[in-house]
Structure formats: structure tokens, C-alpha cells
Amino acid sequence: MAFVPVLYYVFQSAKNRLRCNVKPIQDGDVRPSIARKLKFTSWLPVSALVLLGVAGCTTGNPAGPGEFNDPYEQTNRRIHNFNKAVDRSLYRPVSNTYGTVLPQPVRRGVDNFSEFTDLPRRIVNDLLQGKVEDALHNGFRFATNATFGLLGILDPATDLGIESRDADFGETLHVWGVGEGAYLAVPFFGPSTQRDLAGDIVDLVTNPLAYVLTPPESYYPPSSTVGEYAGYRYTYRETLNDVLDNSADSYATSRVVYLDARRFELGMSSSGDAEDGGVLDPYEELYGE
């Protein structure tokens, strides 16, 4: 069921590349059999979208720093305000309690365990992206921390130079050539994009561990992830509170920060290799015209 929005989104994005001439993502060698396949079956997404009555180029792929595609801004802003209220009444107090009650080494252990149990999902995505080296790296990391790291509570792998490398299905879609889509504020979860939301939904079912574990063990990974989020909210509370409370427009700030950080993560950001998202030159804008 989770695949429905994804398929819909893949189609939508393919349509946009066809009809709006959106530049494809540059990813060099790991370029996508799926995107090519979609080109051959281009009639399919187009007719599907005509049937759905979706029009316009709403899911382009603006990659320049600070550029965004936000056709749902009105709704997004309402959700953003809702999320701020949830943060203030729930996430903030809970994460403060979490951070104050649990000592730092315990929180570190929770973070480690959460990341450890996430590794199988990352390996799946590494493979889907054709990144064999990353898959082996993460596999080795999993084996190391499973054995010498007391089932992932400690992280000896990082000390051995096998550092944490993230991979998610939103990234996989990016590697396959799917555009970022519209910016979204997701209730309870915050900033995202159409592609990343689709990726998050798929990632709910891509972790092989979930199919191996049975209760009560199967409850540990998601619990540790909740703990990890609380710990994150606590550790970066000053910066996050500053963005939410002191920004002139916390919605606009969240949007620019999320998109730039995410594009950087995907290797396509301001200092990255996006086609026109290179180095921002204020001198040219201010004095060059």
C-alpha cells in the first residue's frame, strides 16, 4: 500500500522531465536504469496523469542554493504552525526530560543501537543505488558492532575507521533520477519533499531486521529511534529553538535549511556539483550588473 504514493510520484516526476524539460540529476556513473525505463514507457505516466487530472510543472527540480518549489505553501504553513505547537507542548518537554534524566553515555548507547539496527535498511538502499562499496562498508560496520560492540550499543567500528554512512529510500529515488518534487511540511515530522516523504514511507518496510525479529525484540529498534530523535532534539536544542522561536519567519527558515541540507546530503548542494547550483557569487549579483 505504501508503494502507491511512490509509484504515483515516480510517474509524476517522469512526466515533468518529459513535459517541462527539467534537467536530470547529475550522478555520473550510478545512473539509473529506472529513469531510462521510464523514458521508454513515457506514454504511461503521461496518460496516468491526464487521467488523474494533474496539470502543471509542480514537481520540478530546482537545485540552486536557496531555490525552492513550494506550490502548497498555504497548507504547509498551517502544518508548520501545528508542528510548532506539537514541538512546544510535547517534543520539547519530553526531549528535555530525556536529556536530563539519562546521562550522556546512556544516550550515546541508544543512538548507537538505533543506528546499528538501521544498518540493514541502509545496506538495502546502498544496493538499490548500485553502491556496492557502501553496502560492504555498512555490512562490515554491522558485523563489527554486532560482535565487538555488544549488539550495537557500542560503536567500535567508527574508531576502526568504518564510519557511519547513511542511505535512505528518498536518496535511492534521487539516484534513480526522481526529482525532488514540491516542498512539504509533514504533520508531526516536519520538513520534507514529495520524494523524501515517499522515501520515508517506503523505508518503513525496507529494513530486513523488521522481518527477522519477533516481539519483544522487534520493539527495541523503533524505541531506540524515538530515543535517538529525543536525544537529537535535546543536543541541538539551542539551535533548533533559535530557528523556531527567533526567526522572523520560521517556516521560510526551516524550508531553506531543510532543502539546502538535504541537497548537500545527496551531493547536489551549494558547494556540490549541481549544474547551476555551484558557488553563490554575491559580488556578481551586487556589482556585476
Instruction: State the residues that interact with another protein by CB under 8 A.
Output: 65-66, 104, 235, 238-239, 242, 247-249, 252-253, 255-257, 260-265, 269-272, 276, 278-289
* CB-nearer residue toward another protein: 28 or 282: 282
Find how far residue 155's CA is from the centre of its chain. Answer: 23
Quote the CA–CA distance of 283 and 98 in Å, as a whole number: 46
Q: Which amino acid is at 235?
A: T
Residue with smaller CB distance to another protein, 215 or 288: 288
Give the C-alpha separation, 247 to 118, whole Å.
33
Q: Which is nearer to another protein, 130 or 156 (CB)?
A: 156
How far does CA 101 lie from the centroid of its chain?
Answer: 29
Residue count of the chain: 289
User: Minimal distance in Å, beta carbon 130 to another protein?
Assistant: 23
Which of helix, strand or coil describes residue 62? coil
Closest CB 283 distance from another protein, rounded Å: 5
We find the least distance from the C-beta atom of residue 25 to another protein, in angstroms, to be: 16
C-alpha closest to that of 181 among 20, 1, 4: 20
Which is nearer to another protein, 78 or 213 (by Cβ)? 78
CB of 159 to another protein, least distance (A): 14
Q: How far apart are CB 225 and another protein at their closest, in Å?
A: 17
**Closest CB to another protein among 63 and 128?**
63
Task: Supply the minimum distance, in Å, between the C-beta of residue 177 and another protein.
Answer: 21
Angle between helices 220-235 and 237-246 (to 10 degrees): 70
Whether the Cβ atoms of residue 92 and residue 135 lie closer than 8 Å to each other: no
Q: How far is the CB of 108 from another protein (least distance, A)?
A: 9
Q: Which is nearer to another protein, 89 or 247 (CB)?
A: 247
d(CA 169, CA 27): 16
Classified as helix, coil or strand, 60 is coil
Q: From residue 207, how far is each of 108, 123, 159, 165, 200 by CA, in Å? A: 22, 9, 25, 16, 12
Which residue number, 122 or 262, has a Cβ lying nearer to another protein?
Answer: 262
